[in-house]
């Protein structure tokens, strides 16, 4: 069990699976690019996801899909800050995450009311990121990532990456208790690597930190299903989410909140008897 707390809001991880709803305020994300670029529509979508059972809203202003076009920090801030400010006013108790690899954007998002950083480079990209996190003493999702797909030992290399991130956090004064680990399905990995990460997720339990998985609508699911596009990957995502929970995931980052919340409730009732909220 882990308690992740910030600004009076807490996540009691370990008792059940938590749902992180994806809110991409970008024109070019792989699945829903362009749908939520208007701040009012973005906030309405966030409120809908909260009503459907999301525990965390993850706001992202830069697509990180393969082949994405990077955006400058100022543009990314222009996209995410108004949404975070408006969402904080509309839902004061919501747990808000910002999905960014830039320290300047992270700082602006925290000032706007975000509670958590979600860094696709696990504090090992922008050297200022760990210092921002330490200054704010906020929770951080540390995701594994690398350039290329060569590994000596997939799970061992991912664990080594996480240990470096934890060392960086400790060195900057960011407590380990604020770190959540994400093995980075779809980042620096082949489709077979992605499936192996899900299969062997339990090997990361030795790091004694909560685990987050982002498998929603990923291209690996599309390949398994014969090339289906993102909008047709709901059932495949549901299967992956259920297996992730069975293998130890604590947080699932998803697009389809209502459906995946139900998947998680059933999976929890099976793999977390007495703790998933189902009493029979």
Give the residue numbers annotated as catalytic, written as ranges: 218, 253
- Return the structure tokens found at 35: 């749908």
Of 57, 69, 81, 58, which Cα lies nearest the Cα of 28? 69
Place of tokens 């990460």: 197
Name the helix (H) or strand (E) containing 96: strand 95-99
Q: Would the CA dihedral through 3, 94, 245, 101 be positive or negative?
A: negative
- Residues 6-13: contacts with CB under 8 Å, at least 24 apart: 6/95, 6/115, 6/116, 6/137, 6/138, 6/139, 7/115, 9/93, 9/94, 9/95, 9/115, 11/55, 11/56, 11/95, 13/180, 13/210, 13/250, 13/251
Q: Which residue in the block uniquely carries the two structure tokens 């807490």?
A: 10
If you ran DSSP here, which 8-state letter would residue 227 be given? S
Q: Residue 19 is inside which H or E element, if any?
A: strand 18-24
Distance between CA atoms of residues 73 and 100, nearest Å: 10
């Amino acid at each position: 069990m882990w308690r992740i707390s910030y600004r009076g809001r807490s996540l009691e991880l370990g008792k059940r699976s938590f749902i992180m709803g994806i809110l991409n305020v970008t024109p070019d994300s792989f699945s829903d690019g362009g749908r939520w670029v208007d701040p009012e529509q973005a906030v309405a979508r966030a409120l809908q996801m909260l009503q459907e059972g999301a525990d965390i809203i993850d706001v992202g202003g830069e697509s990180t899909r393969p082949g994405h076009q990077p955006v400058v920090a100022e543009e990314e801030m222009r996209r995410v800050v108004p949404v975070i400010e408006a969402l904080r006013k509309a839902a004061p108790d919501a747990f808000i995450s910002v999905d960014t690899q830039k320290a300047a954007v992270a700082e602006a998002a925290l000032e706007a009311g975000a509670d958590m950083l979600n860094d696709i480079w696990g504090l090992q990209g922008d050297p200022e990121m760990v210092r921002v996190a330490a200054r704010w003493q906020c929770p951080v999702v540390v995701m594994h990532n690398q350039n290329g797909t060569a590994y000596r030992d997939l799970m061992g290399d991912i664990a080594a990456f996480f240990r470096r991130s934890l060392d960086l956090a400790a060195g900057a004064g960011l407590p380990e208790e604020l770190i959540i680990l994400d093995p980075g399905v779809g980042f620096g990995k082949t489709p077979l690597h992605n499936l192996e990460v899900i299969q062997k997720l339990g090997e990361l339990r030795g790091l004694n930190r909560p685990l987050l998985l982002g498998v929603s609508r990923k291209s690996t699911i599309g390949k398994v299903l014969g090339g289906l596009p993102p909008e047709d990957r709901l059932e495949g995502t549901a299967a992956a989410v259920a297996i992730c929970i069975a293998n130890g995931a604590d947080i699932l980052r998803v697009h389809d909140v209502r459906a995946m919340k139900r998947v998680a409730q059933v999976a929890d009732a099976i793999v977390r008897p007495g703790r998933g909220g189902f009493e029979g």
